[in-house]
Structure 1
């Protein structure tokens, strides 16, 4: 048996994970927790088209949760994971407890990313620090590999001045 075969197989699996967005990023990533959904179109075969609401706790800022609503395609293609969800999304981030910044934050950081189609589209949530106002700004948008997307939504969480936000250098 070829001794390099296991290494090549591992390398191919790693490459596939990166290409298909299955590998975790280097930054701390929030995890989605679905908190609700409404059906928008009934489908005879497969799940209905829906609008889902998901919660994401900021992994570096304790006490801040973002709620993102987005369309989720149903039907047969949605059931097998081949559907391309729409780019529309809305975000509202709120203080849900005492805010504690766990470590110095980069000026801008992706805190969540999720694939919306098999190959190309992703929904992203980016935290932007506004140190002058001591505010955390959260932007959600979706992008495509080739043409991008102008659809986006923004929200902000004011942090008490007694809790300064330190920027990473």
Structure 2
């Protein structure tokens, strides 16, 4: 039987972490390491939890070696994103927020996170996705943006 704390954590993950389990598409080694995994670039796919038919592909650098293998290394603040329509676009739980963080993943043991934010460009009926990293003290201005236009016949239901 689950404790109330475990049940609350599971609910929180279900509500906020729908993107938490990206599907690994592949990796490319960038530097050999004698001990632990190599430095690499990983590409993962994430389906937008609020927009059926949109998948985002994120590539980012990961440090290897002993620290990287143990999850203690701080990954670089560089990532790239490309979101695409992969099926009919629909909104199973309308409306969507004008701006909403839809994914967040740790890039260091404590203080650095990779974030993906979805914004709605109502005038152009377009979904805009921004990826960046932040750090408790000093975030990085490096970012990447992509957009998915939605057919005018399917207006994006935006929560005001």
Could you state the TM-score of these two structures normalised by the residue count of structure 1? 0.85
Give, in angstroms, the shift of residue 28 of structure 1: 5.5
Cα deviation code 1:73-92 (max 9, x no counterpart): 10000111100000000000
- The alignment partner of 2:18 has SS state of coil
Cα deviation code 1:103-124 (max 9, x no counterpart): 1010000111000000000000
More strand as a share of residues: 2
- The alignment partner of 1:96 has SS state of strand
Q: Distance in 2 between matches of 1:26 and 1:67?
A: 21
Unpaired runs of 5+ residues, structure 2, are none
Q: Write out aligned runs for 1:158-169 (5 A).
A: 158-169=149-160
Give the structure 2 partner of residue 111 of structure 1.
102
Cα deviation code 1:47-92 (max 9, x no counterpart): 0000000000000000000000000110000111100000000000
The 1:98–1:25 alpha-carbon spacing in structure 2 relative to 1, beyond 3 Å, is closer
- The alignment partner of 1:111 has SS state of strand
Give the structure 1 partner of residue 18 of structure 2.
29
Give the counterpart of 1:78 among 68, 75, 81.
68
Give the structure 2 partner of residue 65 of structure 1.
55
Indicate the RMSD between aligned Cα atoms, in angstroms.
2.1
Give, in angstroms, the shift of residue 32 of structure 1: 1.0
Please tell me whether Structure 1 or Structure 2 has the larger radius of gyration of its CA atoms.
1
The 1:50–1:28 alpha-carbon spacing in structure 2 relative to 1, beyond 3 Å, is closer
Unpaired runs of 5+ residues, structure 1, are 1-6, 18-22
Give the structure 1 partner of residue 89 of structure 2.
99
Could you state the TM-score of these two structures normalised by the residue count of structure 2? 0.89
Give, in angstroms, the shift of residue 29 of structure 1: 3.1
